[in-house]
Amino acid sequence: MPGSRPAPSWALLLRLLALLRPPGLGEACSCAPAHPQQHICHSALVIRAKISSEKVVPASADPADTEKMLRYEIKQIKMFKGFEKVKDVQYIYTPFDSSLCGVKLEANSQKQYLLTGQVLSDGKVFIHLCNYIEPWEDLSLVQRESLNHHYHLNCGCQITTCYTVPCIISAPNECLWTDWLLERKLYGYQAQHYVCMKHVDGTCSWYRGHLPLRKEFVDIIQP
């Protein structure tokens, strides 16, 4: 297990998100692609929740700071990751400025979300568009089941996005993610129905689903 790292602060996260904007595009947010398994492994917090309300709040107590945050009051339904950092999440925060990857969620509705994010140094939960945030109803059965077990247990695997052929595995613990190559979208069939799983010999390969696990390696050399 890696050593614990200091939790980031508001100011640091806002500076990092500002770097995501491509030069000359003040209203753009750009994120590196990541498979849902990677999002779960790299996030400090993973929860299922409903959004009760939203409110615009100052980003800090400094009167000179003009940055605003959007604060969502939530009803936490289940926590999958983050128990050691927070017990029950009441609020989550996101940048108000869309150019800083602020997330717009539906409040006062029955919609439930899977939310991944960071826990800041003051204990606040912070989310942005580069996190994995999906309506719960849009998740496949495999994704829902993997939140409890498979994703967490296989964080030692490396998932690499394949954009063009040929795609070549460069490490024994690597799985090639081919949704963009085959479907021209990131969260396609592979993201929805496969988990990159680690074997006892340290190698990793794709496995499908919630049924008795059987190997179904995705052949990306001959799509």
- Which residues make up each annotated binding site for Zn(2+)? 29
One DSSP character per residue, 149-213 reads: THHHHTTTSEEEE--SS-----STTEEEE-HHHHHSSSSSHHHHHEEEEE-TTS-EEEEE-SSS-
Amino acid at 93: Y
DSSP 8-state symbol, 138: G
Q: How many CB atoms lie within 10 A of CB 45?
A: 22
* DSSP helix/strand/coil, 68: strand
As given in the structure block, the two tokens for residue 111 are: 């919609």
Helix residue spans in 43-124 (DSSP H): none
Which region holds residue 154: left if phi is over 0, alpha if psi is between -120 and 50, else beta?
alpha
Q: Show binding-site residues.
A: 29
